[in-house]
């Protein structure tokens, strides 16, 4: 029987696991490596699979580093045909890459070679990509570099946020695993080399990178807000020395509201008629109207409730 190990710790891995327990799949999921919670608490989109462990009686190992000797030994003892990796930040060592009978296969939420690097779904939204994708590829000693084995593309529409795009990734990953896992685990691969002329890299993002840039256009600010929504830390502004994390917002061009409020309009973030706005430097006639937000370490609130309770927070 073909034997598969999954190294994963996000929602995409959850959907991959579920595929193995459908009747049509012949490959056996013999082990799962997940990130120990103590090392995953700051990782957005983390999923422990604890409920799946109980439901499916999974052979699940939590680790701080997939390249540790104890983890390498555990994986070797399971004698995998292939290792599938999804949402894992640590680079696989050459020792780990050499374990499976065939290959370590990586899943990356981007249409490689576009989207190499980190935070690619966030950057896809911020940079206004209209089409995005999901890719399975052969892992080697460079990040996101190997031959493509399967890829699906999908549209990003104006209403999408980071959660809905990741849901599309989850669905496409599930479909590709259903279509290919039995072939891959038996050593049957159709490989396509990545076009090096089309490589686009994205840099890793930090929570502090979510601070709104008032010099951006209104449309880019709105995309940034959608790109950093839960489960990510969120885009934010500062108002009266407090960090305001924006949950939902829209574009506002209500001229009557702003006509006689020059003092308010001189501020980048301001409250007017029980609403909160962001002024956009690139288009002084456009404002972002915040619909829902929270002060850091407090619950989400409709903006009128947040303003009403501001003095208590």
Looking at the structure, tell me whether residues 146 and 227 fall in a common domain.
no
Looking at the structure, tell me whether residues 69 and 187 fall in a common domain.
yes
Looking at the structure, tell me whether residues 35 and 65 fall in a common domain.
yes
Sign of CA dihedral 126, 127, 132, 137: negative
Residue at a domain's end among 201, 230, 259: 201
Looking at the structure, tell me whether residues 9 and 142 fall in a common domain.
yes
pLDDT at residue number 261: 57
Read off the pLDDT of each residue in 262-271 and give the average, rounded to a whole number: 72
Read off the pLDDT of each residue in 223-245 and give the average, rounded to a whole number: 95
Are the beta carbons of 49 and 23 closer than 8 angstroms?
no
Does residue 264 carry a pLDDT above 60? Answer: no
Q: What is the dihedral of CA 299, 304, 307, 308, to 10 degrees?
A: -90
Looking at the structure, tell me whether residues 26 and 96 fall in a common domain.
yes
Looking at the structure, tell me whether residues 136 and 246 fall in a common domain.
no
Looking at the structure, tell me whether residues 175 and 26 fall in a common domain.
yes
Give the confidence band of 1 by pLDDT, cuts at 50, 70, 90. confident
Read off the pLDDT of each residue in 59-67 and give the average, rounded to a whole number: 97
Give the pLDDT confidence of 174-202 residue by residue, as tens digits: 999 999 999 999 999 999 999 999 999 99
Q: From CA 171, how far away is CA 121, in angstroms rounded?
A: 15
- The SS3 call for residue 2 is coil
231 prior amide bond cis, ω within 30: yes
- The SS3 call for residue 130 is coil
Looking at the structure, tell me whether residues 95 and 221 fall in a common domain.
no
The three-state DSSP-derived secondary structure of 4-57 is EEEEECEHHHHHHHHHCCCCCCCCEEEEEEEECHHHHCCCCCECCCHHHHHHHC
Does residue 284 carry a pLDDT above 90? Answer: no
Give the pLDDT confidence of 94-108 residue by residue, as tens digits: 999 999 999 999 999
Higher pLDDT, 215 or 97: 97
Does residue 116 carry a pLDDT above 70? Answer: yes
Phi-psi group of 297: left, alpha or beta (phi > 0 → left; psi -120 to 50 → alpha; rest → beta):
left
Looking at the structure, tell me whether residues 79 and 10 fall in a common domain.
yes
Mean pLDDT (the chain, rounded): 93
Does residue 255 carry a pLDDT above 80? Answer: no
Does residue 32 carry a pLDDT above 60? Answer: yes
Range of the domain at 103: 3-201
Alpha helices in the chain (DSSP H): 11-19, 37-40, 50-56, 69-77, 94-97, 120-126, 162-184, 218-227, 255-258, 262-265, 303-309
10 Å Cβ neighbour count for 103?
Answer: 22
Looking at the structure, tell me whether residues 23 and 167 fall in a common domain.
yes
**Counted domains in the chain:** 2
192 prior amide bond cis, ω within 30: no
Give the confidence band of 24 by pLDDT, cuts at 50, 70, 90. confident
Residues with Cβ < 8 Å from 20, sequence gap 6 or more? 4, 27, 28, 29, 181
Are the beta carbons of 134 and 176 closer than 8 angstroms?
yes
pLDDT at residue number 282: 61
Percentage of the chain modeled with pLDDT above 90 = 82
Are the beta carbons of 291 and 222 closer than 8 angstroms?
no
pLDDT at residue number 311: 86
Read off the pLDDT of each residue in 265-276 and give the average, rounded to a whole number: 82
Q: From CA 173, how far away is CA 176, in angstroms rounded?
A: 5
Give the pLDDT confidence of 120-167 residue by residue, as tens digits: 999 999 999 999 999 999 999 999 999 999 999 999 999 999 999 999
Looking at the structure, tell me whether residues 135 and 264 fall in a common domain.
no
CATH number for position 216: 3.10.25.10
């Amino acid at each position: 029987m073909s034997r598969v190990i999954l190294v994963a710790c996000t929602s995409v891995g959850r959907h991959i696991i579920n595929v193995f327990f459908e009747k049509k799949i012949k490959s056996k999921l013999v082990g799962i490596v997940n990130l120990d919670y103590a090392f995953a608490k700051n990782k957005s989109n983390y999923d422990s699979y604890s409920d799946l462990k109980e439901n499916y009686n999974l052979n699940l190992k939590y680790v701080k580093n997939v390249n540790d000797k104890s983890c390498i030994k555990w994986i070797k003892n399971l004698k995998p045909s292939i290792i599938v990796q999804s949402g894992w930040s640590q680079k696989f060592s050459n020792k780990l890459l050499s374990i499976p009978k065939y290959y370590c296969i990586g899943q990356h939420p981007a249409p490689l070679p576009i989207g190499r690097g980190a935070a690619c779904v966030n950057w896809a939204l911020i940079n206004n990509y209209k089409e995005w994708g999901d890719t399975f590829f052969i892992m080697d000693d460079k990040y996101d570099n190997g031959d493509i084995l399967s890829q699906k593309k999908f549209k990003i529409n104006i209403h999408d946020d980071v959660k809905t795009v990741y849901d599309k990734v989850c669905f496409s990953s599930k479909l590709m695993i259903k279509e290919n896992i039995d072939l891959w685990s038996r050593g049957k691969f159709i490989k396509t080399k990545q076009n090096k002329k089309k490589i686009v890299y994205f840099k890793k993002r930090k929570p502090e990178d979510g601070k709104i840039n008032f010099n951006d256009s209104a449309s880019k600010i709105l995309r940034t807000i959608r790109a950093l929504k839960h489960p990510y830390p969120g885009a934010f502004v500062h108002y009266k020395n407090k960090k305001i994390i924006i949950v939902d917002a829209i574009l506002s061009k209500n001229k009557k509201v702003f006509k006689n409020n020059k003092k308010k309009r001189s501020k980048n973030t301001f409250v007017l008629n029980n609403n909160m706005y962001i002024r956009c430097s690139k288009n002084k006639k456009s404002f972002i109207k915040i619909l829902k937000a929270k002060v850091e370490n407090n619950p989400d609130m409709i903006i009128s409730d947040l303003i009403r309770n501001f003095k208590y927070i």
